[in-house]
Structure 1
Amino acid sequence: MAQAEYELAIERYIDAPPDIVFKVWTERLEEWWAPKPWTTRLIEQDLRAGGRSAMIMSGPDGSTSPMEGVILEVVPNERIVLTDAFTAGWIPQTPFMVAVMTFTPHGSGTLYRAASRHWNEAAHKQHESMGFKEGWGIVAGQLAELAEAEAKQGARIPGR
């Protein structure tokens, strides 16, 4: 996929194959999505084009950050694309970004790339000033930790 003009992105090598990283991304999202000590409560994650993506991130001080959007594309073990431009049922809301997550085989592991594409420079700068690089980097590390542990555990199971 081409890079958008107003894109922020992080990349991280994860020492686990794409199928495991994708599985952890999709099945254990509440464990890694928010930078700790924040937590995530998943309301719905319908992983199909047009499916609802809804969650609430909560901070240790009780503050919350709801997130509501629509899944645009899912290619198992390769890519997930979602946006907050709509709520479920294609109800328009003020858009902030399109998120594009890719899982690319790299040696025995995965090059994970998480990108946030914005409609304009103001949204791009706002997301950058909110701590995009640090926050998304932290959660990529949390995702990596879980996926790498799962890959090691699977390697110890006889017959795998």
Structure 2
Amino acid sequence: MSDASHELSVTRFIAATPAKVWEVMAERQEEWWCPRPWRAEVDEQDRRPGGACRMTMYGPGGEVAPQDGIYLAYDEGRRFVTTDAVVGDFEPAGPFMIGIWEIAPEADGTRYTAKARHWSEETRRSHEEMGFVDGWNACAAQLAEICEAEAG
């Protein structure tokens, strides 16, 4: 059981099938992964436990924010879990969080939930102060926008 004082999460109902949401969520991350006007580029994805998960986010002012880590789980059509605590060939890194992105059927659409689990309450608080709620909700809205436009 996760310690709630260490977790942040956002959830959103998306009026599209789980298959559509999964396809966009897993295969088209560059379209929704970070809040506009930022953009993301997938550098490497080896979608299996222990496989590399590397992206780079680019900001409108020339900012460059690499996100390197590994998959802890990859359950096709349901969820993927990553961490930045391990990089490369199982090298320890300064851990920030475990990210969990999951979907589930709900009514005539899909429930999307994204969670960030941290090693400490202090780190969770820092992530929240960085704008977690607004940022991850913006990403969820971008994901929903794509899925719902294509579901019609």
TM exceeding 0.5: yes
Displacement of 1:3 in angstroms is 4.2
Corresponding position of 1:98: 98
Q: Spell out, residue by residue over 1:50-89, the C-alpha distance to the aligned partner (whole angstroms, 9 max, x if none).
A: 1111111111100111100000111112111110101132
User: What residue is the counterpart of 2:68 in the other structure?
Assistant: 68
Residue identity matched to 2:106? H
Asked if the contact 1:32–1:139 (Cα under 8 Å) also holds between the matched residues in 2, the reply is yes
Higher-Rg structure is 1
| Aligned partner of residue 11 in structure 1, secondary structure | strand
Contact map agreement 1:50 1:88 (CA 8 A) in 2:
no
Corresponding residue of 2:29: 29
The aligned residue for residue 120 of structure 2 is 120
* 2: CA distance, partners of 1:19 / 1:82: 21
Could you tell me the TM-score, scaled by structure 1's length?
A: 0.91
Tell me the residue number matched to 1:4: 3
Secondary structure of 2:74's match? strand
Aligned-pair RMSD on alpha carbons? 1.0
Q: Name structure 1 gaps, 5 residues minimum.
A: 153-160
Instruction: Name the residue aligned to 1:50.
Output: 50
**Matched-pair identity in %:** 43
Write the distance in 2 (CA, Å) between the matches of 1:121 and 1:20. Answer: 35
* Letter aligned with residue 4 of structure 1: D
Q: Is the CA contact 1:10–1:136 (under 8 Å) kept in the aligned structure 2?
A: yes
TM-score normalised over the length of structure 2? 0.95
Number of aligned positions between the proteins: 151
**CA–CA separation in structure 2 for the residues paired with 1:4 and 1:58:** 32
